[in-house]
Structure 1
Amino acid sequence: MTKFDYDVLVLGSGPAGESAALNAMKHGHRVAVIEAQNSVGGACTHQGTIPSKALRHMVRQAIRYNNTPAFRDIGDARTLSYPRLLSHANEVITRQVDMRSRFYYRNQIRLIFGRGHFIDKNTIEVVSDEGQVETLTAASVVIATGSRPYRPANIDFAHPRVYDSDTILKMTNTPNKIIVYGAGVIGCEYASIFSGIGIKIELINSRERLLEFLDDEISDALSYQLRNMGVMIRHREVYQSVEASDKGVEVLLESGKRIHADALLWCNGRSGNTHQLGLENIGLETDHRGQLIVDEHYQTSVPGIFGAGDVIGWPSLASAAYDQGRSAAASARGKDSCRFVDDVPTGIYTLPEISSVGQTERELTEAKIPYEVGRAFFKDTARGQISGETVGMLKLLFHPESLEILGIHCFGAEAAEIIHIGQAIMKQKNGGNTLRYFVTTTFNYPTMAEAYRTAALNGLNRL
């Protein structure tokens, strides 16, 4: 039997890589993690989830302060510069890195900083930033290298006025106006953040509506709220060219429109980080986005090579990546079955935030599944009135006969937290997933969670 240096090598220390390494170690495997950046955490910690949500939190606090009369009586409205916001985000990133570094230290998992690429399917060569080379062997490899922003070749991302969702975290000024190209989750979140600190936003969307995977009513609510914050939304528009100069940025659209701003934030697509892994040496191919194709065990087409996290595409969420990494590690040690992550709630951190689980009205209608709707508006809840978080609603879709909950959609403060109550009920078996749970359960008062009871009663009154 061939003797390897490690049982499992993990490429990447983001959520998927971290959970894969810890799971393998907990089951007695020899594990090492190879990380291309100079600290752990992956894009989630350094360029994605953590910094953007830290920015959002500070903007939200400022908005609440400025919209509360009692605070306005104390002093003038508070404005935040973008560099000031970034300083808070960097503090959070530092704490995250310290915490995650301890995970590896406590579990005696070796961390190797450098770029790894395959020599063969059991051998990886790692080159450090200083040029040092180390060759490692392993019985199995988990690729969890994440993704990066897609960059079209005809846009000059080296120009100081042109940013993507990674480089925007290095912007050193607060522009008067920004064009956000791409109205997916990342684009909508940054449009919220920037408009929240008074920057004029042109949000260019190539599709018919914002975030088409959402329930139509929630998508409409997001559009209204962004416009109410001053965002100019342009649907069904595709760029033709981008011209950047010392004076600003101009985006020429295929429709003939010319949009001018101080800066451009490109948020249109992401690519898997597989281009420097030497996959050609092991006969492993990717799709057109550079993403790996895996089966229900997270194994690629090459035996012993697994993939997890953003590098395999949908749903490209940190929450899913943690579970995917654990499952990939389980498969790598020969476990016959593992959880394939396919039931993830959405969590979109716009202002206010959005979260949903289950089916939308459009999906139910197209599938010819009868349903009824129950709503609770946050402006009518005591907690919403106390906190001033009156924008938004909770929406329940349920079967009119069995009362089975078919979908839950929330738009408003703490939506990503509130959704988990309904998600837990939807997971109940043997008839436990029904609307009646919410009318036969006493909720704390006043809370945002009691919106479930209000929405359930509203729905039952429609029957």
Structure 2
Amino acid sequence: MTNFDFDLFVIGGGSGGVRAARIASQHGAKVGLAEEFRYGGTCVIRGCVPKKLMVYASSFADAFEDSHGFGWNTGENTFDWGRLISNKDAEISRLENIYRSNLTKAGVNVFPTRAIVRDAHTIELADGQVFRTKHILIATGGSPVVPDIPGAEYGITSNEIFDLDRQPGRIAIVGGGYIACEFAGILNGLGTHVLQLYRGEQILRGFDDDIRNHVADAMRERGVSLELQRDVVRVEKDGDGLKITLDNGETHVVDHIMFATGRRASTDGLGVKETGVKLRENGSIVVDEWSQTSVPSIFAVGDVTGRAALTPVAIRDGHAFADTMFGNRGVRAYEGVIATAIFTQPEAGTVGMTEAEAREQGEVEIYRSTFRPMIATLGGGSEKMLMKMIVSKTDQKVLGVHIVGHGAAEMVQLIAIPMRMGATKADFDATMAVHPTAAEELVTMRVPVE
């Protein structure tokens, strides 16, 4: 009988790895976990959490402006970047301590160092320790990709944007995904001049076209200089700033250029490929429905697998793996209907199919409403909300719901529940509206526009 030091060794202390380690330990497994940076992963340290805090910070500009129409008189408003970053750092440290504490309370052996896979059952730490383990779980997440252009080393990514000493007066953001669009909105709201460049025809590829168009128009109206079918080909130092050259020959001088041009699974130098684990061309790990790789004793969860790169998905993956392997429950992570939010300004929430995806499966009915939210009537804003519902013409099942505007993320989280249960348009129609709310549009749209 082979002697193992651990039943499970987890590489990566992000959302998926921490959840898997903690649940496995609670099931009675002896668990080790190695993390070379900070606990909490991308989401807590340099992603969702600090980003949302900065979204809140930038949204106060709207609140100050809207308040005048409701009778408030406010003095000169100033913003202190240093105070925001300091307070953000304190909150992130608090959350990281909670992650670490939860691991140790659960009985997980924590190793604050890098770990690599030596073979199907062997882990080697950077400090020289070697452990034999029955199972290995890879949960190393992903990292930003920087384009291969001259001067790219002068740029920053979403990793560094949270720790800048000073607020940029001018920034160029390269990319059209949710990270690029979210930071364009954040920095624009805080008073930075934002130039956003995307080589595609429209931002937010993969989302419903109505969301894409609505958000792009609103971003421009708010002052973001959004240029489509444009890319950066060169970055050069220019005094205290940077000169960027575009593919049409145009040049701009900015304080920073941020690349939000995709992410890559963090598998380089990890030893998994050499062990026989099958990888895709982009470095992500191929797994089956049980999160098992091509090597039976090695598993992977979260962003490193190339599945939906969302924190709740990583957490669900990790929990399902632990319950299956050590809880004798046979749990698969559910990924059928996943609600998600884009914290642009205005924010968007989406769940289910896009209109294009739904039309590929059959005939559909489209319900759509755009309107000024109530706060804008006195606040004076011109921004409109969008509500869209996609319904199967055959069985009236709701296939997708897409919202842009204040509270979109909160609304779409709740809508995901009835959609997962197979709700029909009649179920929405039979639900009493809450008035006056924006969400009531979802149960009062009666006539399809298409």
Determine helix, strand or coil for the equivalent of 2:8: strand
The structure-2 alpha-carbon separation of the partners of 1:385 and 1:64, relative to structure 1 and needing over 3 Å to count, comes to same
Partner of residue 152 from structure 1, selected from 147, 155, 158: 147
> Where does 1:1-400 land on structure 2 (aligned, <5 Å)?
1-37=1-37, 39-69=38-68, 73-127=72-126, 132-156=127-151, 159=154, 162-333=155-326, 338-367=332-361, 369-377=362-370, 379=372, 391-400=384-393
With over 3 angstroms needed to count, the CA separation of the structure-2 counterparts of 1:388 and 1:146, relative to structure 1, is: farther
1:421-440 to structure 2, matched below 5 A, reads 421-429=414-422, 433-440=423-430
1:298-338 deviation per Cα after TM superposition (whole angstroms, max 9, x unaligned): 11111111111111123111111111112333454476552
| 2:319 aligned counterpart, secondary structure | helix
1:274-299 deviations in whole A, cap 9, x for unaligned? Answer: 11212244123433322111122211
Cα distance in 2 for residues equivalent to 1:438 and 1:256? 52
Q: 3-state DSSP class of the match of 2:282?
A: coil
CA distance in 1, matches of 2:213, 2:304: 31
Give, as a single letter, the amino acid of the residue that structure 1 aligns with 2:220. R
| SS of residue paired to 1:227 | helix
Q: What's the CA shift for 1:35?
A: 0.8
Which of 450, 454, 459 in structure 1 is aligned with 2:440?
450
RMSD: 2.5
What count of residue pairs does the alignment treat as equivalent? 448
AA at the equivalent of 1:298: S
Hey, what's the Cα distance between the residues in 1 that align with 2:150 and 2:71?
Answer: 44
In structure 1, how many angstroms separate the alpha carbons of the residues matched to 2:233 and 2:103?
47
Deviation string, structure 1 residues 345-382 (Cα, Å, up to 9, x no partner): 22111112111111222223344x222222344525x5
Distance in 2 (CA, whole Å) between partners of 1:206 and 1:42 is 29
User: For residues 298 and 437 of structure 1, what CA distance do their matches in structure 2 show?
Assistant: 35
Deviates more, 1:181-190 or 1:89-98: 89-98
Q: 1:104 to 1:337 in 2, by over 3 A?
A: closer
- Looking at structure 2, the residues matched to 391 and 102 of structure 1 have their Cα atoms a distance apart, in angstroms, of 44
- Separation of aligned partners in 2, 1:250 and 1:184: 23
Is contact 2:66–2:379 with CA below 8 Å preserved after alignment? no
Deviation, structure 1 residue 186: 0.4
SS in 2 for 1:75: coil
Deviations 1:208-261 (A, max 9, x none): 111121111111111111101111111122332221333322222233332332
Consecutive unaligned residues of structure 1, counting only runs of 5 or more, are none
Establish whether residue 404 from structure 1 lines up as the match of residue 404 from structure 2. Answer: no
| Partner AA of 2:25 in structure 1 | M
Alpha carbons 1:66, 1:77 under 8 Å: kept: no
Q: For residues 153-173 of structure 1, what are the alpha-carbon distances to aligned partners after superposition, in whole Å with 9 as ceiling and x for unaligned? A: 4454654xx211101122111
Instruction: Report deviation, 1:11.
Output: 0.8
- Whether the aligned pair in 2 keeps the contact of 1:117 and 1:277 (CA below 8 Å) is yes
Identity %: 28
Contact 1:327 1:340 in 2 (8 A): no
Tell me the TM-score normalised to structure 2 length.
0.92
Q: Where in structure 1 do 4 or more consecutive aligned residues deviate above 6 Å? A: 386-390
Select between 294-303 and 179-188 the one with higher mean Cα deviation. 294-303
